[in-house]
Structure 1
Amino acid sequence: MSSTTKSGGLPARQSEQQPPGSDGDIGLLTRLGLRFTAWAEKWFPDAFVFAALAVAVVSIAAMINGSSPVAVSKAFGDGFWSLIVFTMQMALVAIGGYAVATSPPAARLIARLAAIPRTGRSAVGYVAAISMILSLFNWGVSLIFSALYARALARREDLRMDYRAAGAAAYLGLGATWALGISSSAAQLQANPGSLPKSILDITGVIPFSETIFLWQSLVMALVLIVVSIAISLWSAPKGQHAKTAQDLGVSLDDAPPAAAEPGAKPRPGEFFERSPLLTLLLCALGFGWLVQEFMTKNPMVAISGLNTYNLMFLMIGLLLHWRPRNFLASVAKAVPSTVGVIIQFPLYGAIASIMTSTPVGGVSLSDRIAHLFVSISNTETFAVVMGAYSAILGFFIPSGGGKWIIEAPYVMQAANDLQVHLGWAVQVYNAAEALPNLINPFWMLPLLGVLCLKARDIVGFTFLQLIVHTPLVLFMLWFLGRTLTYVPPVMP
């Protein structure tokens, strides 16, 4: 990495005389991306250490707020398993997505898509575009498909694609656009009165998609973020000697299906059902039967946004595409290592959320105090910027879209009512800002990193570059586009 840490500032004539592979051969964004990555590789902690440090910071802050060490310790233990269902769901997101993508039909489709790019940089751009577009429909699909697409591209030695930049691009769906799309937890909750707690419903009423994610202002914001993010991905991706391929990083790209039995080997009678599609057909008939009922009785977009529905669908599709249980189980076995980070680290995030919300002093928790501070300094003109900053900061410690909205919505939306801010836009303020801390918080990265066989430090230099651009851009758009909307009183069901 010596060429990427060389100090700049040389006169133009001298830089032109630098040898190939020096900083003089690359643009500003590439140079920044490489330097941020060099810093991250040296200083950015492992994702588990990152989460543990966040626990320490929040615990100290809670005690400064007045909570006793005993109360903080109790909140830690009470919250440690609070995300256990979500942890299992996220692990199955990775397993189901991997099983589908490594099936012979899906693998052929990904291989065809991987044949399209002509250069390493354009390959990174394709990954970024696919990741963000898919995330508008379902963040889980975006996370796993983009990671597997990046792996397929990495097999093309002719591209010499920087695998770190491709990994960062694959994560942009979660770091830029997902909360502005149909899988937005806050927008889904606000549009469905049956899912809203009374404490929120009495303040906001029902807010349909037409007043949140389908506002033209929201669509413009999503489009701008997609275009800007792709441009940054393209211009910051290292090329030539600066690029580090998967092979350079020591990443194995072997996704080969399980080996066939040796010629002449006679299957044991007990292996009959492993090698037969009979059980596959039975399980898929039951699974798809349930899915049909779900989609017939619910809004299809609401149904697919549920993680249980999504996971069952992908597991059934994966089983069907692998055809025989033996092949399906072999694929699942290869996917399991990608879930290790999720299983061991998500409990720490559950503990963080509990400490911030369940250690009140005089009825005021640490989360409440932070929220009230931001609400107190906002007015009609500054609401979008102040609330956006608040949502981003709190999202760094409580990275949970729907769960965090239930905590924040009562006072945030009451403030929007008092200041007469468009309620649907207030939801979008939360959504757009919610994605910003994802760019450097490993929470949502873990399934993707598991599939890519990378560490957070490998991609966070490039995602941090995106964060530097996104933060002022998002806050400006929240303020500017919000000025084009007028307040409409809440509609009660």
Structure 2
Amino acid sequence: MKKSMSERVADVYSRYFPDAFIFAIVLSLFAILGAIFFTDSSPIAVLGYWFDGFPMLFTFAFQLIITYAAALVLVDTPVVQRFIKNMASKIKKPTTAYVSTSIVGALTSFLGWYFGPVVTSLYARALGQNVKGVDYRLLAAVSYASFTISLTGISGTIPLFVATEGSFTELLGGIYTLDQTTFSVLNMVTAFAIVIVSTIIFYFIGKNKKEIVTFNDLAIIKSGEQAASLELEPSKVAYEPKSFAEKINDFRPTLLIFGLLGLVYLIYFFGTKGINGLNLNSVAFISIVIGFLVHKSPTTYLESFSRNIPATSSIALQFPIYGGIASILIASGLSENITAWMVSYSTEVTFPVLTFLITGFINLFVPSAGSQFTATAPFIIPAAQELGVEIPRAILSITFGDIWTNLIQPFWALLYFPILAVGTRLTVRDFMGYCLPILVAVGAIWILGLLFLPL
């Protein structure tokens, strides 16, 4: 059977690209060697930077773990499960499955990077299990690629960061609100174009697909055991007769009152701060409070949280590794050298594009948006000011670059993999190759936008 070009690329990617954890280790080695050979830092000093960087992202990692686990708990309710399954049940054709997953993923990811992966993964999984002839590897790729516009959305780390008073406010010359970044013409037009173009590309890849690997082909079924599956329905355990403590544990008003108190404060909080009140802490709080409101009892909430927290284990493991990489780049001066070289060859017109390309490269080593901005803003922002580049355009250049190479950097697949892969032999290598055409298309859209679109 002669395979299509996209299938051949995906096969090569699957054969030679390492797993996400190995990718992080290899990039750590590159960062260490680069700092030793291209800066004045001694080997022992570089190892010291690496050591110091391990706890750099502990706070951000915990914020992400809590937010993601709380988002999983939020969808771990019968009403949400039924809604997602009902949506998926209306899809009958493979190409419709790919297109709908792309659109659902983009919309939900724009609303929240912590929310979109959960909903999209559950939706794609339901499609993979129920739509005849759909390739589950490609469906996983569509799900992951839909994350591309997430950090340009209303929960984007960098736009929220520059919209908040902090250590970088003086460097930036003030606060830049979301209407100057997230809701700018540049960002909204390119985001819309990315969704349309990506969806069309995946439609044609799916239409021309020759080799189909279904969900059932990848499913793991062990003899004498029940097939592994993702069942997010809260466990139902009968307690008869119930003790007083068990009655308290199952008493929904306890959880409901707590959720209502949180909701009241959120209304007040956003009533006074508006959309600028969105940050990682408020997002985590929102996810937890809504979970309190929709779950049946404190017991079901606790069981759901305990069941879903293991899905964040890869995040807990890999964030310290990337913190070490970020520390090496910053402390050794390697990121400063890269940026200084970039500025020396820039003009007011080309600077945003070069910033986009360089930050895209750095993102391979530091896929955390917060770390990326911390590493590059101290050099990029002053250079932008010197060249006369609009600061919001420079901020968006960093943001776009930080997201762009996620299409070949598997770190953020950690948000999808716990749902997409459970009970199957699916690996990141199986679907990342299908994202390469999207990488090219998205890069072209953002470069053209940075060159020609107004803010």
**Is contact 1:80–1:350 with CA below 8 Å preserved after alignment?**
yes
Aligned to 1:142: 116
In structure 1, how many angstroms separate the alpha carbons of the residues matched to 2:200 and 2:160?
A: 30
Indicate the RMSD between aligned Cα atoms, in angstroms. Answer: 2.4
Partner secondary structure for residue 114 of structure 2: helix
Larger CA deviation: 37-46 vs 267-276: 267-276
TM-score by length of 2: 0.89
Instruction: Give the superposition deviation at 1:295.
Output: 1.9
**Is contact 1:58–1:352 with CA below 8 Å preserved after alignment?**
yes
Aligned to 1:488: none
Q: Which of residues 74, 77, 80 in structure 1 aligns to 2:54?
A: 80
Q: Highest CA radius of gyration, 1 or 2?
A: 1
**Is contact 1:199–1:410 with CA below 8 Å preserved after alignment?**
no
| Within-5 A mapping of 1:35-434 | 35-64=8-37, 65-156=39-130, 158-174=131-147, 176-192=148-164, 194-201=165-172, 204-237=173-206, 242-250=211-219, 252-261=228-237, 265-299=240-274, 301-303=275-277, 305-359=278-332, 365-434=333-402
Instruction: Give the superposition deviation at 1:180.
Output: 2.8
Instruction: Give the superposition deviation at 1:240.
Output: 7.8
**Is contact 1:392–1:433 with CA below 8 Å preserved after alignment?**
yes
Judged with a 3 Å threshold, the aligned counterparts in structure 2 of structure 1 residues 254 and 415 are, in CA distance, closer, same or farther, namely: closer
Instruction: Give the superposition deviation at 1:389.
Output: 0.8
Whichever residue aligns with residue 63 of structure 1, its letter is I
Identity of counterpart residues, as a percentage? 27
Partner secondary structure for residue 349 of structure 2: coil
**Is contact 1:90–1:447 with CA below 8 Å preserved after alignment?**
no
Aligned to 1:5: none
In structure 2, how many angstroms separate the alpha carbons of the residues matched to 1:351 and 1:441?
A: 17
Aligned to 1:7: none
Larger CA deviation: 205-214 vs 69-78: 205-214
In structure 2, how many angstroms separate the alpha carbons of the residues matched to 1:295 and 1:451?
A: 32
Offset from partner CA, 1:102-146 (integer Å, 9 cap, x none):
201111111222123231221121111122122223211112211
Instruction: Give the superposition deviation at 1:50.
Output: 0.7
Partner secondary structure for residue 81 of structure 1: helix
Judged with a 3 Å threshold, the aligned counterparts in structure 2 of structure 1 residues 210 and 285 are, in CA distance, closer, same or farther, namely: closer
Aligned to 2:444: 472
The count of aligned residue pairs is 443
Segments of structure 1 that go 5 or more residues without pairing to the other structure are 1-21, 25-30, 360-364, 486-493
In structure 2, how many angstroms separate the alpha carbons of the residues matched to 1:208 and 1:86?
A: 22
Partner secondary structure for residue 292 of structure 1: helix
Partner secondary structure for residue 443 of structure 1: helix
Instruction: Give the superposition deviation at 1:230.
Output: 0.9
TM-score by length of 1: 0.83
